[in-house]
Each structure stands twice: as C-alpha cells, then as structure tokens.
Amino acid sequence: MSTTAELLKGAAELFPDEVVTSAHVRHLDLPFGAGRFALITLDNGFDHTKPTTFGPASLANLNTAIDQVEAEAAAGDIVGAGITGKPFIFAVGADLKGVELLKKHEDALAIGKGGHEVFKRLAGLAVPTFAYYNGAAMGGGVEVGLHCSYRTVSKAIPAFSLPEVFLGLVPGWGGCALLPNLIGADKAVSVIIENSLNQNKQLKGQQVFDLGIADAIFEGADFLEQSLIWTANVLKGDVEVERPVIDRGEGWDQAVAKGRFIADSKVHGAAPAAYRALDIIAAAKNGDLQQGYDAEDQALADLIMGGELRSGIYAFNLVQKRGKRPAGAPDKSLARPVTKVGVVGAGLMASQLALLFLRRLEVPVVLTDIDQERIDKGVGYVHAEIDKLLGKGRINQDKANRLKALVTGVLDKAEGFSDADFVIEAVFEEIGVKQQVFAEVEAVAPAHAILATNTSSLSVTEMASKLKNPERVVGFHFFNPVAILPLLEIVRGEKTDDASLATAFAVAKKLKKTAVLVKDAPAFVVNRILTRFMGEIQNVIDEGTPVEVAEKAVEPLGLPMSPLVLLELVGPAIGLHVSETLNRAFPDRFTVSPNLAAVVKAGKRGFYVYDSGKPELDPEVAALLRQGDVVLSGEQVRARVLDAVAQEIGLMLDEGVVAEAQDIDLCLITGAGWPFHLGGITPYLDREGVSERVNGKKFLAPGLASVPA
C-alpha cells in the first residue's frame, strides 16, 4: 500500500459517516481514431440534490482509480485520461463535515497532504489529462481539474468557485499555487479573494472560459461529446491550445496588493484566511508549485485548527440549515393559505412591504391610509419599482402587467380587507395608534386573518390585548433595506396560537426570508444587541474618549461598517427612539446619550461629512458634543463593548428571547450583516474569553463553532 493510501486510510477512520464518492474508470474510443481513452467519473451515487464531495475515503477511491490509469498510461494502453462528474455536478470540494471533526493539527495536515498527493498524480501521468467541468464545481472540485493538462467547461454551469476564503480556509489542494500560474495573479485574486469575500459570488461557465480557467467551452446539450471530440483533436494536434502570457513582474505584485486592499476593506484584518491565501499567491510568482503546495498544507492545517474556520462553517450551517428550518416553529401543516394581503399605511416602509409581498406571493395586495393622496403615492411607488425591475430585465412585460394589476389602494378598510388573509401594519410606532389600527382591521377582516405588525420596539402582546381574537396577532419584524437583508424576526405574543404562527412562518418562507422565532421582549434580538453595542460606544464617547478612538476600537471585529456610520444609516432619530424604549425597559443597562439627543434635536441626519472623499466628523456635530474627561484606549473600549454585548446576550438567553445562542448569531448574520468569521458573535465571544469573563461560561458547546475537545 502506498503512503498516500495509508495517509487517507488513517484520515478516513476519523470520519466514519462520510458520503463516499466513487471514481469510476471507463474506457472509450475517441472519435477520428484518436485512440483509447480512460474517463474517470466522480459520482457519490445520489442525484444532483446531494452534490459529490471529497472526504478521505473519496480521495482514496480517486487514488485507486489513478493507480489503474497510471499503469495503463505507462504501458501505452491509453492515449489520454479525463475526469468528469455525475449529471449536473462535477464536484463541490472537501466534505466540510469531515473538516469539522478534526481535532489535531497533524490530522488537519494529513487532509491537505492527502488531497495534494492524489491530485498531483494526475499531472504526473505519462499521457495528457483532461478535466471536463460538466456541472457545479467548487473548491477541491475546481482544484482537481487544475491539476489536469487541459480543461473544458459547460456553458450551462451555474456555479463554479473557490469559496474557501469565504468559509475561513484557503484553496489548499493546489488552488492558490496553480490558479495564478494558469490565469495570472490578477484574475486569480478576483476568483480566490474578491468573489469569496463578495458573499461567495459564483462564476458561470462563460466566465470560467473567459477567465482562461477552461481551454474550451461547449453547450450543455452535448457537452461531454463535444469535449471528447475536442480532446481527440487536441491529441491529434489538430487543435492548438493557446494560453495567455502571464505577467510575472510588477503586475503580480499589484494583484496581490489589490487582494490585500479588498481583504482589508471587507474583514479589516480580522479574519486570517484571505491573507494566508494572498501570501501563497504572492509566493507562487516564482512558479515553484511544490513550495506552493507545502504552504497550502500549512495554511490549511493552521486554519482548520483556528477559530475563524470553525466560526465560518458554523455560520454557513446556521444560514443553510437552521435558517431554513427555524427552531421552535409550529408544524407547517397548521399554516393557513394566504391569498390576499392587506397593508395598513402607504408610507415608504409600507410600500416596500407591499412590493415584497407582491413579488413573492403574487396575490392581490391592498394598501390603505388616511387619505387618497398617500394611497396614490404608495401605489405609485410600487408601480415605479415594478417598472424599474422591468427596465433592468428582471421581469418581463407580462409579469409587470400582472404585478401592477395585483396592487391596489383604498381608503375604506372594510372594502380592502374584507377578504384578506393576512394584514400587516406599518404605521407610526406608538402603541395607542397601533391598537387603534388593529381594532379597525379586526372589525372588517375575516375571523381567520392574521394581523401582523412590523413594530421594531413595541410589545406585540400589548398591541393584541384589546382585540377579540388576540391569538392571531404576530410580530413580523423586517430589516432595512427590506429587499436585501434576509432576516425576519417572527414574534410570538402571549396569546398567539400555533396556526397563526405557522402561517407567519409559511409566509416568511415564501418571502424567501430567514425567519427566527422570537419572544415578545423589548426590541427583540438584533435591535437590542445593536443598541446595547452602540450605547456602550456612545457612553465612552460621552465620557470623554475621542470619536475616532471609539470608532476604530471595534474595527478588528470586521463589522460591515463602523458604529456611527451604522447609526447614520438607521437614522439618528430612530436610534434615539429605540434607545429610549430600551432605557425604559432596562434602565440599568441601556442609557440615552445626551449627545445623540442633541444631534437629533439639531436635525442632523448623520455624524460625518464626505466632502474630502472620506468620512470626517461633521464640524457642526463636533460643536454639539459635550464630553467628559475619561479617555480610554481602543483596547479598553473594545473590552467594554464586548463585555456589554456578552452580558446582554446572556440575559436574553436567560429570558428565553430565542431558543438558543445559535438563533442570536443567525439574527446578527442575516439581519445586521455581522461577518461569518465571527460566527455572528457568540463563537467570537467564547473564543476571546469574553463569555467566561462576563457570564462565567461559554455560549456554545465545544465543537459547535470551535475545535472539538
């Protein structure tokens, strides 16, 4: 048994539940008498809904297949060898479940080496090798093809990527070393760094070809046939494959520098993966592949044993799995159909909601408001947005006509809501107003209709308290911008029944939102944590720490924007309002910043001016600030802020605001854009020792978002 086989056998023992991919070897006669050819098919035996992956036993199968092909190549029995995938799937890379199980650095190293040892053999065969990217290819799937002499790609491929950096890894089975040497450092940085950090953007087949990753592109209908015909022509010398000359001088260094700039702007140095990948790309300039592979092995092992990857996988699983099967949601069979939606209010928020319901549910949506002018404006907004979609080609004229015909506005709620199944209000945040609105809706809407509120801070239970049927009231809290942020906090009031809640979750699913079940508690989840977080920043500013020190203090977390920029986006007045609400609920922890109040009173909409091209504190805001004389260092600020956040989350879990800490993280990732490498926030708080310092225990069980014990 070869050492590679032994290495993989050892690794396979650590991962008994692997879905094992077979590597079938089949022989065929190439067209035009070009000779006998061995084609390896990667196939895990399931259909396309379970994509093919590489765990250790799968790599061992490929290794065995290559044993056979290698012998045939050496004996002159074949003129070439190829590799392709089952229908619709090439291979989507390493099996993350196996990576999660790894506990020791040496085991992690073995995974990297194992992949390299197997894939490298393709490059070492005595005959030319060909990869046929027939379907989805990611990570190790892309990399196995990079080791081949030639590649073709199907025009029909919807997803092709090296997503490792997105998760907290590096493309470590040759990706970092081979790709820049194939297509140049600049394009490689785009694929490995930029796309990964841009919400894991996928390439389509045409782009794979245009980038030079594939030497030929064929349509999906007869992709494999045409690839094999092309192969025959290449082997006969009838087709010459041209590769672009790569800039190995300054262009290479500039590409790496560009990569660092992108990484800085996205993760602010907070996550190591992108930087490790860039180091390897930088070193690959000399074309020494083995040195690159060794560096990949080291980087993989370090990252697999580090917290960021575990947080990344944890976050990925939250969004992909928990986000799709919300914890605590009632049985979906209880859900009632929603065939017409009412929206109370025709302001901007209400109009955005109307548009969302319209596009996703494609049922009649009726807006009401206090006068015809507002209603016309609301319906006009929706029509204008539909026209924008039409203009961009996102919908066709028929769909635009259909959607426009479905949205209407009426003054009389009785006329609008008498047959509505779901009515959502987005009126002024004032409990008396909302109670009044719900009473009016209840008087005219059918008895089964759900009454939903988009309140961000008021009590859903209190809002329902004066109704005859309070059991049908649910909180339906969206995040701005409604069309972009996936989170929807679904709030169960004291009397909300299972059928109403199930209906709310069913609607959320149709809206394509990530729904999280939340208890009726002040400001629910995201706003409560963000307000505590911002409140602590404002506190240290009010006490005397300079604004820029406070702002920079949290940069290492890699949040999507600085605290004050976020406050600008939310609107200082709304921020102030939420802090007042939480201050009333929890006066000992939530403060109302007098400086923020002054900024709001002065009618300022933000803190910064951008005249010079980058943000500078608005002199008018600076003049309003009244600060104390306690100046903290960045480190002190960060510790104070994180302690506050850890304390608040601890209290929220004690109160049962959500089922588990995972739901907090899911909310922060999908509702506030907090990064994957933090895993939301609780894995980070655990890893940095904040949780234990503040609450005396970690939020998450070991292994959930960390190296298992």
Residues that bind other proteins (CB under 8 A): 22, 24-31, 39-41, 43, 45, 84, 86-87, 219, 221-222, 224-225, 228-229
| Minimal distance, residue 665 CB to other proteins, in Å | 41
Nearer to other proteins, 228 or 313 (CB): 228
Q: Of the two residues 65 and 343, which places its CB atom closer to other proteins in the complex?
A: 65
Residue located via tokens 């000399």 = 286
Contacts of 158 (CB under 8 A, 6+ apart): 136, 202, 204
Q: Which of 418, 440, 442, 438 is nearest to 430 (CA)?
A: 438
Name the residue nearer to other proteins (CB basis): 27 or 388: 27
* 134 or 190: CB nearest other proteins: 134
Residue 282, amino acid = A
Work out how close the CB of 41 gets to other proteins at its nearest, in angstroms, rounded to a whole number: 3
Nearest alpha carbon to residue 660 among 644, 682, 639: 682
How far is residue 178's CA from residue 246's CA, in Å, rounded to a whole number?
12
Closest approach, Cβ 24 to other proteins, in A, equals: 3
Can you tell me whether residue 354 is helix, strand or coil? helix
Residue 476 Cβ vs other proteins, minimum distance, rounded to whole Å: 41
Work out how close the CB of 131 gets to other proteins at its nearest, in angstroms, rounded to a whole number. 13
Q: Provide the minimum distance between the beta carbon of 288 and other proteins in the complex, in angstroms, as a whole number.
A: 35
Residues 6+ apart with CB under 8 A from 665: 314, 315, 318, 679, 680, 681, 682, 683
Judging by DSSP bridges, how do beta strands 473-478 and 450-453 pair with one another?
parallel
Query: For residues 36 and 268, which CB has a smaller minimum distance to other proteins in the complex?
Result: 36
**Minimum gap (Å) between residue 161 Cβ and other proteins:** 24
Q: Are the CB atoms for 37 and 79 separated by under 8 Å? A: yes
For other proteins, give the closer residue by CB, 73 or 576: 73
| 476-482 long-range Cβ contacts below 8 angstroms, 24+ apart | 476/424, 476/452, 476/504, 476/508, 477/518, 477/524, 478/353, 478/356, 478/454, 478/513, 479/526, 479/671, 479/672, 480/570, 481/352, 482/349, 482/352, 482/353, 482/356
DSSP 8-state secondary structure symbol assigned to residue 332? G
Query: Which residue bears the tokens 């995040």?
Result: 479
**Cβ nearer to other proteins, comparing 44 with 454:** 44
Q: How far is the CB of 141 from other proteins (least distance, A)?
A: 16
Nearest CB to other proteins, comparing residues 127 and 407 = 127
Rounded to whole angstroms, the Cα distance separating 413 from 284 reads 68
Minimum separation from the CB atom of position 54 to other proteins (A) = 17
Distance, CA of 695 to CA of 685 (rounded, Å): 11
- Closer by beta carbon to other proteins, 36 or else 248: 36
* Nearest residue (CB) to other proteins, 41 versus 190: 41
Lateral strand order in the sheet of 136-138: 89-91, 136-138, 160-161
Phi-psi region of 277 (alpha: psi -120 to 50; beta: other; left: phi over 0): alpha
Indicate the residue among 90 and 505 with the shorter CB distance to other proteins.
90
Q: How many whole angstroms separate alpha carbon 134 and alpha carbon 217?
A: 10
Report how far residue 322's alpha carbon sits from residue 257's, in angstroms, rounded to the nearest whole number: 37
What is the C-alpha to C-alpha distance for residues 676 and 313, in angstroms, rounded to an integer? 8
Nearest approach, Cβ of 484 to other proteins (angstroms)? 33
Closest distance of CB 238 from other proteins, Å: 16
Task: Return the closest-CA partner of residue 680 out of 656, 655, 645.
Answer: 645
